[in-house]
Amino acid sequence: MARSRSCNSNSTSSGPCSTPCGWPTSRNDRPSRAARTHERSARVSRRERKPEALVLDEGVLREGPVCEIGGALAVGACGGLVATPWRDRYRAAEIAELEVAASTEGIGDESYPQVVVHLQKSRAATAIDLAEAWRILAPGGQLLFAGTNGVGVTSAVKRLAKQLDQSPIVVTNRARARVVRFKKDGGPGPARETTPSIEARVEALDGTPHSLALETRPGVFSAKKLDTGSELLLGALADFVGHKPPKRVVDLGCGTGVLGLAAATLYPGVECLLADADARAVA
């Protein structure tokens, strides 16, 4: 007997689904092999149209391993190392059986003949990625800088070209994105950037003020200043907890860690656990 699935997980019916849910209701309803092949080809085509797939265009990558910072497609094609602080991308690389690290800090100098850096929204975080890429790039190797127009690749390339005192070579330009090439020579490398420290204030239930000075890492959520939500939570933290100090505090999606650190300041004996999907936040 053909098996079927129900849209509603709470349903006790064993019959076919009464509303479209994407699952075939019988063997006869399953797509043909040709249709499944076409669907897989369409998925690949959609992937290749994404801006980050420009690194796979002809003439971009050279033979040999690559370190890819912020992506994984180049490593999938050439081998090498994926460097990403994001847990979902890290796990995806592991599942694809690619070598992966949360950062490039443990990579030796001049280790790779080519390095790909994907532009981030954070200028300071991108600057750190470029400086690290230059450090691990072998002399004469190619630095590939990829990004979209919407994130500001044009200005970022101009800034990098000025720092390196080189003219960028555009190796591919489509899908409102581009990949440019620089060559590691004996000139100066990319300049690193930092984010300023954040000042935060929290009051105990009796009104005693406490000040926090946070040193943040570029790219972490709200690294430049406190976001509105965190400010509101800081103001309500003491009232929310009340007079009885908590035994444990968990700060999920901690970002700069300001809420967890504020709790530890107000309640010295508390056990605080800070967690984030970005490894830079908890490094």
Residue 211 in tokens: 């000040």
pLDDT of residue 209: 83
Nearest to 66 by CA among 56, 58, 57, 77: 77
pLDDT of residue 11: 40
Q: Find all residues with CB under 8 Å of 112, minimum gap 6, and list them.
A: 65, 66, 67, 80, 81, 136, 137, 138, 141
pLDDT of residue 6: 39
pLDDT of residue 12: 41
pLDDT of residue 202: 82
pLDDT of residue 210: 83
pLDDT of residue 20: 36
pLDDT of residue 4: 38
Domains defined for the chain, CATH in brackets: 49-183 (3.40.50.150), 198-282 (3.40.50.150)
pLDDT of residue 114: 98
pLDDT of residue 268: 84
In the chain, which stretches have pLDDT less than 50? 1-27, 37-38, 40-46
pLDDT of residue 32: 60
pLDDT of residue 8: 44
